[in-house]
């Protein structure tokens, strides 16, 4: 049987917002780690401040807003991930949904849990997304936008936009 990631076609090609292994060789620090060179002023949109790393829990989403932009920040297995707080289906506040698991493709009458603790389920219609990659689990083309995160030398979490 294929690995869970292969079964769902979850890719690790998401610099700065995936697992530490996925970020190797990308020129980006692993998600949620100290950045050797945080973004400079004037280089596109300034980063969005989330807050102290010590205040980000692995049990709930931290939602930050900037005008009409709303982003949810999650800590999964000690790694930070950020996704747009808007379901691409009908605009629901995605990050208000439940985080859990899904079921891997399996034989009839067999239910194999998969991706535990990293699947966000839309509160309106139940569409599921893999938080680290933003990949929709129901459609190979569907995605929710992900954002890279970094922690500065003072322990403050930021989102790159």
pLDDT of residue 157: 97
Query: CB within 8 A of 110, min separation 6: which ones?
Result: none
Nearest to 63 by CA among 14, 97, 38: 97
Residues of the chain with pLDDT under 50: 1-39, 42
| pLDDT tens sequence across 89-128 | 888 999 999 998 887 877 888 888 778 889 999 999 989 9
Give the three-class secondary structure for 123: coil
26: CATH: 2.102.10.10
Q: How many domains does the chain have?
A: 1
pLDDT of residue 148: 96
pLDDT of residue 43: 61
Give the burial class of 101: count Cβ atoms within 10 A of its Cβ; 0-12 exposed, 13-18 middle, 19 or more buried.
middle
pLDDT of residue 156: 96
Give the burial class of 143: count Cβ atoms within 10 A of its Cβ; 0-12 exposed, 13-18 middle, 19 or more buried.
middle
pLDDT of residue 138: 83
d(CA 39, CA 37): 6
Query: CB within 8 A of 9, min separation 6: which ones?
Result: 135, 140
Instruction: Residue 23: give the domain boundaries.
Output: 4-159
In which residue are the tokens 């690790």 written?
A: 12
Nearest to 75 by CA among 66, 83, 86: 83
Are 23 and 148 spatial neighbours (Cβ–Cβ below 8 Å)?
A: no
At 119, phi and psi to the nearest 5? -110, 125
pLDDT of residue 150: 96
Tokens of 51: 């807050």
Strand order in the sheet with 112-121: 98-104, 112-121, 128-130
């Amino acid at each position: 049987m294929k690995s869970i990631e292969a079964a769902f076609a979850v890719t690790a090609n998401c610099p700065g917002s995936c697992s530490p292994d996925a970020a190797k060789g990308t020129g980006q620090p692993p998600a949620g780690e100290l950045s050797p060179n945080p973004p400079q002023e004037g280089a596109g949109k300034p980063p969005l401040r989330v807050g102290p790393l010590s205040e980000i829990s692995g049990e709930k989403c931290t939602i930050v807003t900037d005008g009409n932009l709303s982003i949810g920040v999650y800590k999964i297995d000690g790694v930070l991930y950020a996704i747009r707080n808007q379901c691409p289906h009908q605009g629901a506040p995605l990050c208000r949904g439940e985080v859990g698991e899904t079921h891997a493709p399996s034989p009839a009458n067999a239910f194999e849990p998969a991706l535990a603790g990293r699947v966000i389920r839309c509160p309106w219609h139940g569409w599921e997304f893999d938080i680290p990659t933003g990949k929709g689990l129901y459609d190979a083309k569907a995605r929710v936008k992900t954002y890279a995160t970094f922690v500065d030398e003072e322990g403050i979490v930021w989102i790159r936009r």
